[in-house]
Amino acid sequence: MVGAFFGGILTVGWAIFHILIVLLQAYIFMMLTIVYISMAHESH
């Protein structure tokens, strides 16, 4: 019973961590895309 409880807590913690990492990656790649597109427009 205790093992199942701690396993559930770890699963929820891992899911939250995974969602935060996905959002952080999406934000970083969005910012990089905006920067690269603006740099491409400046040079032409």
Is residue 10 included in any domain, yes or no? no
Dihedral of the alpha carbons of 6, 9, 13, 16, in degrees to the nearest 10 = 160
Q: What is the pLDDT of residue 44?
A: 62
The residue segments making up the domain with residue 26 are 19-44
Is residue 24 included in any domain, yes or no? yes
Is residue 31 included in any domain, yes or no? yes
pLDDT digits (tens, 9 = 90+) for 1-44: 989 999 999 999 999 999 999 999 999 999 999 999 999 988 66
Q: What is the pLDDT of residue 42?
A: 82
Other CB atoms within 10 Å distance of the CB of residue 39:
9
pTM equals 0.68
14 φ/ψ angles, rounded to the nearest 5 degrees: -65, -40
Is residue 35 included in any domain, yes or no? yes
Is residue 40 included in any domain, yes or no? yes
